[in-house]
Structure 1
Amino acid sequence: MAPRKLESVSLEPSEDPATFESKNVHQIYDAIATHFSSTRYKPWPIIATFLQNLPTGWVGFDSGTGNGKYLPLPADRPGAIWTIGMDRSRNLLEIARHAGGDDVVREVVWGNVLENAWRPGAFDYAISIATIHHLATYERRKLAVQRLIQAVDPNHGRILIYVWAIEQDELSKRKVVDQDEAVVADEKGKDVMVPWVLSKNLAAKPSEDSSPPEVFNRYYHMFAKGELGTLAKDAAVALGLSVGDPSAEEVGQGVEVVQDGWERSNYYVELRRWSK
């Protein structure tokens, strides 16, 4: 089956982005939580490796944890690190509390990725996986990255961010842009609606009727090549931090980009805080 072209969307100048996100993101994930969670069970390799390589005893948080599939990791060292999950969806958090199915109740918090919810430098690490692309403006996406930077230790804090990419791989069911749109989209990304066809058996109120399944359209900002790395750097600079190799600085605080790449229809960036 050929990939389906996604519907473009734009936020009207008079439209409140928080209200737009509530309608086109938060309410939808509460409605589809059970079905969504049933399709999200396998950790992505780079994220699993990132968590596996963290020192024993570190404490971090997952900003936009969803069903909490990363909370039990690393699989080969259960309990070696402690990840707290935060999400806006109460229904997903109920699932996340029992992520891993090993009778361990996970620590989860109901919250907004834009809020300054944590004491500065409280965590050793933070991850944000497939969350920031649901924010409807550049400024809100930048603020979400700033909250991650602020929440981790200024001397050694580690951050990993994943977002969906315009460039979808050969296995994707989605097509983001046509060839004639590629130049513009490559510069600034593209705002689209991504449909979710709800399974009747896994709906909040299962139905046995023969009517068509309910379809929910979720808002996404699909990132262009280089856009996520630039966003992370902009967020750091706006906080008064240097960006780059700490060996090039004599004093101060900053953020180093450890890796910036693409994996299976996603862009990712890894950041490291430093202070000297």
Structure 2
Amino acid sequence: MASNNNNIKPQPVAVETPKQNEERYEETNVHKVYQEIASHFSETRYKPWPVVETFLTDLPTGSLGADVGCGNGKYIGVNPNILMLGSDRSANLIEIVHERGFEGMVADGLNLPYRDNSLDFAVSIAVIHHFSSTERRKEAIDELLRIVRPGGKVLVFVWALEQTKFSKRNFEPGQQDVFVPWMLKSTGQVYNRYYHLFKKGELDELFDQQKVVIETTGYDRDNHYVIATKK
């Protein structure tokens, strides 16, 4: 999970994901890592992505929704005219959310603590690529749709396999399952986070066309995204 070598700039490496015990794999290679890097990670996450900001500011006044995998809560206060509840697997990140004066709770993205059809919207920004199987990634989408009412909207962003020439992300062609290094500023220690890089169209396929209407599918800042409305 972690290493320490200040002489070599760490690079992403291709990995094989397990055929079973995916939850344990994610605990080691995602959740524990974010617990360790939460403070440094939060320092780098402060500017909302434009597509997400527009989605949130265009919501009707009084809308109630969820930011699933909210990190440090940078999107929770974007639109003061809506109420958005944050959740994340990292208790250390949720502590930062609380320090910023926002509502947040520790929760599993596959078992969210919300009633069926209870919210007007849900967002999941740069989260679902951390699930290590197609089945678990689809479960995460289905869970977002479970908590949103008919007519409610869902926005999902994931890292893209297709990167622009200006991207800071350095992936080998065709390398979909990777460890992406994070070097702690304070110690130089390197932690590897698991990512599944999405091909064009792959995210769309996770949305059940009988449950949603896909309003927008796009590519922004080296990410694929989908905006969908629940039927």
Q: Which amino acid aligns with 1:223?
A: F
Aligned residue for 1:25, secondary structure, equals helix
Does structure 1 residue 12 correspond to structure 2 residue 8? no
Distance 1:49 1:257 in 2: 17
Q: 1:256 aligns with which of 198, 213, 224?
A: 213
Which structure 1 residue ranges, 4+ long, deviate > 4 Å from structure 2? none
Aligned residue for 2:34, secondary structure, equals helix
Please list the CA deviations of residues 148-190 of structure 1 after superposition, one character each: whole Å capped at 9, or x if unmatched.
0010011x21100000001122332222223xx4xxx6xxxx1
Q: What TM-score, normalized to structure 1?
A: 0.77
Distance 1:217 1:171 in 2: 23
Q: 2:162 aligns with which of 163, 167, 181?
A: 167
**Superposition map of 1:43-192 within 5 A:** 43-74=48-79, 78=80, 80-99=81-100, 105-154=101-150, 156-178=151-173, 181=174, 190-192=176-178
Q: How many residues align?
A: 223
Please list the CA deviations of residues 181-215 of structure 1 after superposition, one character each: whole Å capped at 9, or x if unmatched.
4xxx6xxxx10000000011xxxxxx6xxxxx100
The answer to which structure, 1 or 2, has the higher relative contact order (CA under 8 A, 6+ apart) is 2
Give yes or no for contact 1:5–1:177 (8 Å, CA) kept in 2. Answer: no
Q: Which moved more, 1:108-117 or 1:43-52?
A: 108-117
Give yes or no for contact 1:172–1:265 (8 Å, CA) kept in 2. Answer: yes
Question: In the alignment, which residue of structure 2 is the partner of 1:268?
Answer: 225
Identity percentage over the alignment?
Answer: 43
Distance 2:131 2:119 in 1: 23
Measured on the aligned residues, the alpha-carbon RMSD in Å equals 1.6
Q: Which amino acid aligns with 2:197?
A: M
Question: In the alignment, which residue of structure 1 is the partner of 2:183?
Answer: 197
Aligned residue for 1:69, secondary structure, equals coil
Distance 1:68 1:116 in 2: 17
Task: Kindly indicate which of the two structures has a greater share of residues assigned to strand.
Answer: 2
Distance 2:18 2:43 in 1: 34
Q: Which amino acid aligns with 2:43?
A: S
Give yes or no for contact 1:5–1:174 (8 Å, CA) kept in 2. Answer: no
Q: Which amino acid aligns with 1:83?
A: M
